[in-house]
């Protein structure tokens, strides 16, 4: 039996000698924050707990290369407008809007990870009594926090001499989210305690 790739090209698997397995690579054994959140939000939707989605980034396609119809390739595209935040939706009758970021920094969360227009967007959400926050993962420390947008905005706009939020402040004023099996990052339990208790 011949196997073919979706484009019709024939698979010609090479026959290799059986050798001992390579040692496992541990560099990417954890899921990314985005994948964890997408899985969590899918769980929330499937159980009827909340409706929260990742926002698509609007892109204007300028040029496409068509070597053949089945292999179209975008060669040039531009963002139509600055993005706002990563996720939004509704939970218990309240609008939810948040940004998710990972950092390899072990002592602070750099402001360079967030743009001013994103902070302005979260400020507008707060003005309209929505719930806005950041989910920050310190990948090397394997720690994930929910950090209220109002506090982050204070740091961002009022602490002009700083370029980051120190980790001790995030640990003290944020809320650690333990990783679980399902849902992976149960941030709504924290939302319940902060906004609905």
* Burial class of 45 by CB neighbour count within 10 A (0 to 12, 13 to 18, 19+): middle
Q: How confident is the model at residue 197, as a pLDDT?
A: 84
Mean pLDDT across 120-134: 94
Q: How confident is the model at residue 18, as a pLDDT?
A: 42
Give which of 98, 86, 158, 100 is closest to 125, Cα–Cα: 98
| φ, ψ for residue 166, nearest 5 deg | -65, 145
- 3, pLDDT greater than 50: no
Write out the H or E segment, with its range, that includes residue 51.
strand 51-54
Q: How confident is the model at residue 23, as a pLDDT?
A: 39
Task: Give binding residues as ranges.
Answer: 84, 86, 99, 118
Write out the H or E segment, with its range, that includes residue 197.
none
- 16, pLDDT greater than 60: no
DSSP annotation of 142:
T
Q: Which CATH number fits domain 33-55+82-195: 2.40.50.100, 3.40.1350.10, 3.90.180.10, 3.30.70.2080?
A: 3.40.1350.10
- 48, pLDDT greater than 90: yes
- 157, pLDDT greater than 60: yes
The answer to whether the peptide bond before residue 147 is cis (omega within 30 degrees of 0) is: no
Q: How confident is the model at residue 111, as a pLDDT?
A: 86
Lowest mean pLDDT, pick from 88-102, 120-134, 157-171: 157-171
Task: Give binding residues for Mg(2+) as ranges.
Answer: 84, 86, 99, 118
Q: Give the predicted TM-score (pTM) of the model.
A: 0.73
- 27, pLDDT greater than 60: no
Lowest mean pLDDT, pick from 36-50, 148-162, 169-183: 148-162
Mean pLDDT across 66-84: 67
48-84 burial, b at 16+ Cβ within 10 Å, e below that, comes to eebebeeeeeeeeeeeeeeeeeeeeeeeeeeeeeebb
- 154, pLDDT greater than 90: no
């Amino acid at each position: 039996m011949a196997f073919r790739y979706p484009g019709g090209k024939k698979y010609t698997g090479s026959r290799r000698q059986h050798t001992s397995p390579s040692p496992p690579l541990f560099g990417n054994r954890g899921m990314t924050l985005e994948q964890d959140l997408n899985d969590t939000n899918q769980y929330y939707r499937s159980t009827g707990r909340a409706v929260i989605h990742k926002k698509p980034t609007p892109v204007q396609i300028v040029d496409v290369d068509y070597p053949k119809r089945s292999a179209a390739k975008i060669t040039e595209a531009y963002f139509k407008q600055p993005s706002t935040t990563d996720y939004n939706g509704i939970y218990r009758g309240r609008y939810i809007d948040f940004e998710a970021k990972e950092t390899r920094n072990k002592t602070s969360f750099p402001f360079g990870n967030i743009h001013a227009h994103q902070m302005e967007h979260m400020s507008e959400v707060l003005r309209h009594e929505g719930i806005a926050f950041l989910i920050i993962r310190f990948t090397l420390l394997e720690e994930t926090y929910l950090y209220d947008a109002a506090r982050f905005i204070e740091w961002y706009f009022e602490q002009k001499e700083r370029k980051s939020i120190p980790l001790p402040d995030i640990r003290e004023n944020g809320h650690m989210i333990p990783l679980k099996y399902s849902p992976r990052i149960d941030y709504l339990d924290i939302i319940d305690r902060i906004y609905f208790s």
